[in-house]
Amino acid sequence: MASQNHQLHFLLLPMMSQSHLIPFTEMAKLLAHRGLTVTILITPLNAVRYNKIIDYAKNFNLKIQFLSVPFPCKEAGLPEGCENRDSLPSPDLVPNFFKAGNMLQFPLEKWLQELDVESKPSCIVSDLCLPWTYDLSLRFKIPRIIFHGVSCFTLFCSHSISQSHYKVLESVTSDSESFSVPDIPDKIEFTKAQLPEIRQDLKPLLEKFKEAELSAEGVVVNTFEELEPAYVEGYRKVVKKIWCIGPLSLCSTNGTSSYEHHHESLKWLDSKKQSSVLYVCFGSLCQFLTQQLIELGLGLEASDHPFIWVVREGDCSIELNKWLVEEKFEERVQGRGLVVRGWAPQVLILSHPAIGGFLTHCGWNSTLEGVSAGVPMICWPMFAEQFYNEKLIVQVLRIGVRVGVEVCVNWGDEEKLGVMVKREDIEKAVKKLMDEGDGEGEERRERARQVGKMAKRAVEGGSSYLNMTLLIQHVMELVNKNDAEN
């Protein structure tokens, strides 16, 4: 089959957001290692962020290339340079950002028109958030597959909630009243306040997302079958075909730079006992009040456990820095706690033997990275599908504990909602997850270790490896069928 693979050319079309670009670039590596040619649509500023994948491709003699097209900031009403979701200055600009993403259709069509027959892509793998790829695939007669960067648990639960014949939400009288998700394998309850907020101006776009998914050849999901088998089977009945090829984060340790391996946090971890350190990080999009960050710091300090706390640049406000200095926080926790400002090599940190737990916002990329490392998690969901991931981690997999958040904190609502989690709650959750000698805690840690082993087996010749083979074979059959008809 490898001899045939070199004829296939996959065109990957991600949304320009960290949580989407990261798994797309990892998927590019997997496809290229199978002998395929891979082209990734990207914009100039994002290309700078992700240029190490091109270096990686050169090192391994892989056929990965960028198709760099300008991001139409001005035309979509965005400030210049807002090429990534994390660079938006205001939540009011989210619709403009989607509009800009839709405008990438035109330069892409021009590129496809100018290609000769031999260079034409055999398949489009499109982000769910780019519904215009349906028109593109029809016009150029290229099979199209949708990529999902969320779990099958999320996909199946949200599908069950949205099915009109259930009308489960219509009978719910308040945002805090809980309801059961119908027709799913486990008893899972949500409140309206925990569900992703759907802005009125984005509802028509979400309908297009669903139509685009159902019209595709099938869906590729960044998960693995052993993690959530009942939910994979459930969602299999909703779409034409499903291929689970994750965790894609397990590609990340290949091709990491020496700078990443020499990051201060890894040297610091080398001096710590096995499974003793809590890693704390909230991804690239979570917004916190300074007072909430102070509560977090005080809760970590009070827990008496070693920790690495990553404070992203947006959170590293003047007020927080002032507090850290005035209160001599880093001096007080010296040797036991490390504050990292800005970026940290998360996959390498999580896989370090000294890490014994992960305090996370439950974004799916971070969740899978924690799963793959075999570490239990403290769940602090904020928005989007993060409460779904918390339910999967705590109730289905039973490898995590809740910090106690009950409502989504959508971007722009932080001041209105105030401090959501007190230092006492943080201290309690850390002790519950990290303390030795607790029978429940040891069982949780053992389950997390077993799930981590399953993740590695899935990509190293197991179910995810096989699904990637089946995906490539399916595309090959479509190409051969198309050639025979023409």
Is CATH 3.40.50.1460 correct for 259-456? no
pLDDT value at residue 320: 87
Region of residue 437 (left: phi > 0; alpha: psi -120 to 50; beta: else): left
Looking at residue 1, its pLDDT comes to 41
pLDDT score at 260? 76
Residue 421 has a CB neighbour count (10 Å cut-off) of 16
Give residue 347's pLDDT: 95
Rama region for 61: left / alpha / beta (φ>0; ψ in -120 to 50; rest): left
Q: How far is CA 32 from CA 44, 50, 65, 79, in A?
A: 22, 16, 10, 35
Output the pLDDT for position 437.
62
Ordered per-residue pLDDT tens for the chain, 486 residues:
444 555 899 999 999 999 999 999 999 999 999 999 999 999 999 999 999 999 999 999 999 999 999 999 999 999 999 999 989 998 889 999 999 999 999 999 999 999 998 899 999 999 999 999 999 999 999 999 999 999 999 999 999 998 867 778 888 889 999 999 999 999 999 999 999 877 776 778 788 888 888 899 999 999 999 999 999 999 999 999 999 999 999 976 555 555 577 899 999 999 999 999 999 999 877 788 899 999 999 999 999 999 999 998 765 667 888 899 999 999 999 999 999 988 899 999 999 999 999 999 999 999 999 999 999 999 999 999 999 999 999 999 999 999 999 998 877 777 777 778 999 999 999 999 998 666 889 999 999 999 999 999 999 999 999 999 999 999 999 999 888 876
What is d(CA 9, CA 5) in angstroms, rounded to the nearest whole number?
Answer: 9
What is the CA 142 to chain-centroid distance, rounded?
Answer: 27
Q: CA 468 to CA 31: how far, in whole Å? A: 8
Does the structural domain 9-253+459-485 have CATH classification 3.40.190.10?
A: no
Q: Which of 310, 314, 245 is nearest to 85 (CA)?
A: 314
* Stretch(es) of the chain classified as CATH 3.40.50.2000: 9-253+459-485, 259-456
Read off the tokens for 259: 């700078």
For residue 436, what pLDDT is reported? 64
Nearest 5°: the CA angle 180, 182, 184 is 105
